[in-house]
């Protein structure tokens, strides 16, 4: 279950345990209202234990929208070692600030 928190000018998206084919569309719908010009977005992955390619596509799309279209910032925080490995192998670590646990 995705939670959205706004504090001190930052929007924090807390992911659930999984972003997979079953919940990726809902995850995307949950995030969509937060995408506004100049947004400072933090994707808190402290609960995330699994991300499928469908979840990676959503993160990639959000990253492009935030940076290119909205002039905002995005980063992923509290990323576990296993999730970091996936992000590294798929090239996300070259384009997205990632803070590991």
Which domains occur in the chain, in start order?
Answer: 3-100 (3.30.750.24)
The pTM of the full predicted model, rounded to 2 decimals, is: 0.93
Kindly state the average pLDDT of the residues 1-5: 93
Q: What is the pLDDT of residues 10-23, one digit of tens each?
A: 999 999 999 999 99
Output DSSP code: residue 67: I
Q: Positive or negative, the Cα torsion across 4, 75, 63, 52?
A: negative
Q: What is the pLDDT of residues 23-78, one digit of tens each?
A: 999 999 999 999 999 999 999 999 999 999 999 999 999 999 999 999 999 999 99
Output DSSP code: residue 69: I
pLDDT, residue 24, reads 95
Q: Residue 60: how many CA atoms within 13 Å on its side-chain side?
A: 12
CA distance 71 to 81: 29
What value does the mean pLDDT of the chain take? Answer: 96
């Amino acid at each position: 279950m995705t939670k959205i928190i706004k504090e001190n000018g930052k929007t924090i998206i807390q992911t659930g345990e999984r972003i997979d084919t079953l919940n990726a569309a809902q995850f995307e719908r949950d995030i969509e209202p937060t995408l506004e010009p100049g947004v400072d977005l933090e994707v808190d992955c402290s609960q995330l234990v699994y991300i499928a390619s469908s979840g990676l596509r959503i993160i990639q799309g959000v990253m492009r929208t935030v940076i290119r279209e909205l002039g905002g910032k995005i980063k992923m925080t509290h990323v576990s070692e296993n999730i970091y490995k996936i992000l590294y192998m798929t090239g996300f670590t070259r384009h997205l600030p990632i803070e590991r646990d």
